[in-house]
Amino acid sequence: MLKIEDFTCRYLVVEETWIGLCESLLIQTSIPLWNAKLDGFGRNPQGKNRQDGLSPWHAFHAGRDLKAEAKPADDLLVKLAKDVAAFMSELQARCDTKT
């Protein structure tokens, strides 16, 4: 499961005009898990193709208080955990290559 230690945060203060460009650049360079592998992080409404109405991000993230009927199936959590592990290994290999 994800822990608070798995996250970092940096701030960039810009004029509103540049927000979209900065966001795109940060996503391309940082490759955050929620943009690359676990769709559904953010304030946008839930879309289609979501098991039990949960996005993969909300199903996997243990920090969210879910109603009993909205809890994801164990097999979904196992699949998501494998996907995250593979993504993190690939990301680590990319970082190792750059150094």
pTM above 0.85, yes or no: no
**Domain residues for 89?**
4-98
**66-79 per-position pLDDT tens digit:** 665 567 778 888 99
Question: For every residue of the chain, which 3-state class applies, written as one string?
Answer: CCCHHHCCCCCCCCCHHHHHHHHHHHHHHHCCHHHHCCCCCCCCCCCCCCHHHCCHHHHHCCCCCCCHHHCCCHHHHHHHHHHHHHHHHHHHHHHHHHC
pLDDT bucket at 30, cuts 50 / 70 / 90 = confident
Give the number of domains in the chain: 1
- Mean of the per-residue pLDDT values for the chain? 79
